[in-house]
Structure 1
Amino acid sequence: MRTEDVHGFNYDGSWGTSGLDLWQHHDHGRMAVEVARGKEYFPGWNVARWWLSHEAHQRDPARFLANFEAGLSLFERHGILVVPVLFNRWRDPVCDFGGVPLDHIVPHHSAWTGVDDLFADPDAGDPVAAPVQALFHRYLVDVVGSHVDDPRIWAWDLCNEPLMGRYVEDDDSPVRRAELTWLTWCQRVCKGLGAVQPLTIGNFASVKALELTEPISDVLGFHPYFMANGSGHNENTLTKPAFEAFLDACEAVAQRSGKQLYASETVWGARDDAAHVEVMRYTLGQLAARRIGFTVHALGHSLVADLHQDAYGPVGSPEWLHFVEADGSLRAGHEAFNEFAPR
């Protein structure tokens, strides 16, 4: 499948507030209901970007892998391919999802039991010698290694929103260098395991991040959010002219690299249904005009950040991004998604 034919949603279950919570208390029955309902509302949904939790795998690998396998089979029954999100670097101050802390990947950033570096330079020797690196390696071997040619998986997303700070523009930043070293190691491990599916990275709205991760991406992933409520701090996202110029710049990166572009997250949130639909129509219209496929964030109500009404927990500046409410009803007007996702 070419990226221009990708029309789908990110998926997080409704029952948890974080990645670890969702996977430690995985509810396959509720997932089955939520995915079936989503397919009924949106028949053209053909790809799901499904967020995993390396932390849950660390605690109970067998259970995690069984639930992962069951979920892949569930999506397959509905004709939906999957983009598993292997790691996460987006850290939310209001309702944190969890993920990889800098302490685990930046050299000299930790003093855990006298071990200064939890993640070692992959060119320095044993690739799994450092403590965190060994855990990451086992996770990738178990998850990617057992599905290297699984036709249910469209692509592997190595990491959601790495390099998400001003340091992305600093060529001398040790944090940027360490994060890219870690991502490159992840890419090498997946390729070394024999993964035939494309590898991608879910970059936040930064042309620089897209350029930096291009060499280790088979498909260029980015998050084009037009932040109509002005809640962001990224100049690429706050006005329509700036947003469209950002899309043009990302297209230029893709054209220079000869790689396809994929919007792995898109459509900013709003408490007001009509305002959210307006943002959806504009954003997806811009992507469709450029033949850029997308997985909107996100399908349905969840207790994780930005996917629930205020009554269900903390709500940050993105407000409400979900399309399906907690009671299973579709938010008013949100069937408009189907205009951009033909069956």
Structure 2
Amino acid sequence: MVSNTRWTPEAARKWHKSLPWQVGCNFTPSYAVNQLEMWQAESFDIAAIDSELALAAGLGMNAARVYLHDLLWWQDSAGFSARIDQYLAAADRHGIKTMLVLFDSCWGPHPELGPQPAPTPGVHNSGWVQSPGMKVLADTSHHRRLQDYVEGVVGRYANDPRVLAWDIWNEPDNGPEVALCDPAQLKAKADLVVPLLIAAFGWARAAGATQPLTSGIWLGDWSAPDLLSPIQVAQTENSDVISFHNYGSAKDFRTRVKWLKAMGRPMLCTEFMARPVGSTFEAILPVAKKNKVGAFCWGLVQGKTQTHLPWDSWANPRLEPTTEPWFHDIFAPGGVPHDATEVAFIRMLTEAETRLAA
């Protein structure tokens, strides 16, 4: 379905009904400290990607959420596209559809091409970078190339059945400790993001996307429309399907799903699973499955992002071995499960879903 306008709720529900329950992960291969290292020609490793996607498929996962970056398109659109083609072919071989993320407001505000820094010892996601960086976000003279990036990537894969959906912008309003800026800067950044976020939805539609567009809300109280921030209004009013992030308990997850049902559209939880705070597979997946909410955990194989470490490791680095459960991620390098019972639980749920669909 090609449309230059937002999908109707009926069209969104028809799309959702055509799919099995979507369960998957946010995927960054273990060799990469960030999106740039995942995709740059010098570091791109399709064999490693293929072997790690095989682990996801072995859990019964049928979806992945993967971050792109505008600098990669600006540097070498043809080469970047060829590597996306390789990735999508590998994912497809494993029965995995991919949600591609175009922009992101989390962590390092000054991305640079070239060799990426080594992970900071003991720190969660120390090398991740924003897209666009603050310099480009603040300088409207660069926004034409951001439009070229969105239209180029979306246009290339607009009819590709291997692409599940387009996530236009990840966490455009995340707090100052994650956006690495002070509260005043965060407000100024939000003012820059809103018009560009809305424009990016338009660019993706103009490029002919047949897959749904979305941008996931994250912070605050969503129980009534007048409680949403300007960014959240822009996200939800432009999304074909509603996506959100949740790292709370099963009770909190259930409450937020109830709130979002009022929007009348299918839902995808595009980030969950932080074991120490109660967002576990055992707690969340049964609720998501019952409510037909797609669910993407954060992380797959422990690696250079170090997201097995907690968020507070930015203030309190974990420099010594610890017995605390991993924050994110499922497998150690080589495919050894962090928690074999957890892996068995995921397989039980996905196998049951497969039997129901048969």
1:337 aligned to 2:337? Answer: no
Name the amino acid aligned to 1:296.
C
Alpha-carbon RMSD across the aligned residues, in angstroms, is 3.1
Q: After superposition, give the CA deviation of every residue in 1:81-127 in whole Å (9 maximum; x if it has no partner).
A: 11011111111685041113344334xxxxxxxxxxx12xxxxxxxx
1:302 aligned to 2:303? Answer: yes
In percent, how many aligned pairs have the same letter?
22
Q: Give the superposition deviation at 1:163.
A: 1.2
Which residue number in structure 2 is paired with residue 115 of structure 1?
Answer: none
Q: Give the superposition deviation at 1:157.
A: 0.7
Q: Give the superposition deviation at 1:250.
A: 4.6
Alpha-carbon distance in 2 for matches of 1:269, 1:19: 24
Residues 1:59 and 1:74: Cα distance change in structure 2 (over 3 Å):
same
Name the amino acid aligned to 1:281.
E
Alpha-carbon distance in 1 for matches of 2:264, 2:255: 15
Alpha-carbon distance in 2 for matches of 1:75, 1:84: 12
Alpha-carbon distance in 1 for matches of 2:149, 2:192: 20
Which residue number in structure 2 is paired with residue 203 of structure 1?
Answer: 217
Alpha-carbon distance in 2 for matches of 1:4, 1:222: 19
Alpha-carbon distance in 2 for matches of 1:249, 1:295: 16
Q: After superposition, give the CA deviation of every residue in 1:234-259 in whole Å (9 maximum; x if it has no partner).
A: xxxxxx4xx6356424532342x321
Q: Which moved more, 1:7-16 or 1:200-209?
A: 200-209
Which residue number in structure 2 is paired with residue 48 of structure 1?
Answer: 64
Which residue number in structure 2 is paired with residue 286 of structure 1?
Answer: 287
Q: Which moved more, 1:181-190 or 1:332-341?
A: 332-341
Name the amino acid aligned to 1:216.
N
Alpha-carbon distance in 1 for matches of 2:269, 2:23: 10
Alpha-carbon distance in 1 for matches of 2:329, 2:272: 11
Which residue number in structure 1 is paired with residue 244 of structure 2?
Answer: 222
1:192 aligned to 2:206? Answer: yes
Paired residues for 1:63-82 under 5 Å: 63-82=79-98
Which residue number in structure 2 is paired with residue 38 of structure 1?
Answer: 56
Which residue number in structure 2 is paired with residue 155 of structure 1?
Answer: 165
Indicate the SS of the match to 2:44: coil
1:322 aligned to 2:314? Answer: no
Tell me the TM-score normalised to structure 2 length.
0.73
Q: After superposition, give the CA deviation of every residue in 1:116-142 in whole Å (9 maximum; x if it has no partner).
A: xx12xxxxxxxxxx22x1221221122
Q: After superposition, give the CA deviation of every residue in 1:157-180 in whole Å (9 maximum; x if it has no partner).
A: 1111111138xx99xx55433211
Paired residues for 1:169-184 under 5 Å: 173-184=187-198
Indicate the SS of the match to 1:203: coil
Tell me the TM-score normalised to structure 1 length.
0.76
Q: After superposition, give the CA deviation of every residue in 1:288-312 in whole Å (9 maximum; x if it has no partner).
A: 3333111111222231141479xxx
Name the amino acid aligned to 1:192.
A
Which residue number in structure 1 is paired with residue 145 of structure 2?
Answer: 135
Residues 1:4 and 1:247: Cα distance change in structure 2 (over 3 Å):
farther
Alpha-carbon distance in 2 for matches of 1:89, 1:178: 12
Give the number of aligned pairs.
Answer: 292
- Unmatched 5+ residue regions in structure 2? 1-14, 109-122, 177-182, 223-227
Indicate the SS of the match to 1:262: strand
Whether the aligned pair in 2 keeps the contact of 1:97 and 1:305 (CA below 8 Å) is: no
